[in-house]
Chains A and B, each alone.
Chain A
């Protein structure tokens, strides 16, 4: 199975400051169709997960542009340019190319 490793697992951030989460996969996530199937999800306390980013860097409708995804191959990053209070959540990366699909362990973003 593809192992997805996130770091850090806990990220205290000052309001208005940037935050960055790393996600590394144990195998390449580049499909033969040329796409890279790496997703980012946000799960706020007490809520269901919500997709933020798909195919590495495509933001979902309604997702603030302070969220951005980047990376290639096996190394990916989710960045929040200026953290707001509503960004307190656990963030998960997930690969959707190799069965079984797998998630990272989750990174908890909290306000310092």
Chain B
């Protein structure tokens, strides 16, 4: 079964850092681009970042450039999102998803909640 499972969320104070992980299984991880999408409480979906098969290409939404870093470890079948200088507006459920083909994502996980609050 194709599956991704996010972890690493929690309650942090403004200015702190957090690293999210996404464990993939059921598919050949290093064949796929991967993506992070977030959803603030009661709000819509926002694409955050994507990375190519080997980690050499990365794209970010402007609001997190210089603050978040997407990375992957193909040997561990894992995707990461390193988040620093967190702000209240980064509070959201963070989902990882697979790119089965260009221009699309599927196989969303259950998400991990990040809460930034003092």
| Chain A contacts to B: CB under 8 angstroms | 1, 31, 33, 35, 37, 39, 41, 43, 48-51, 54-55, 60, 90, 92, 94, 96-97, 99-106
Q: Known contacts A92-B44, A94-B47, A106-B45; is A35 also within 8 Å of B108 by CB?
A: no
A106 — which chain B residues lie within 8 A by C-beta?
A: 44-45
Give min CB distance, B100 to chain A, whole Å.
8
Q: Is the CB of B103 within 8 A of A105?
A: no
Contact count band on B: 20 to 34
Give min CB distance, A85 to chain B, whole Å.
23
Q: Known contacts A41-B45, A48-B111; is A100 also within 8 Å of B62 by CB?
A: yes
B101 — which chain A residues lie within 8 A by C-beta?
A: 54
Interface of A is mostly: loop
- CB < 8 Å neighbour of A37 from B44, B45, B47, B104: B104
A47→B106 CA distance, assembly (Å):
14
Can you list 16 contacts pairing A with B, beta carbon distance less than 8 Å?
A31-B103, A35-B103, A37-B102, A39-B104, A39-B105, A48-B110, A48-B111, A49-B108, A50-B108, A51-B105, A54-B106, A55-B104, A96-B102, A96-B104, A100-B62, A101-B47
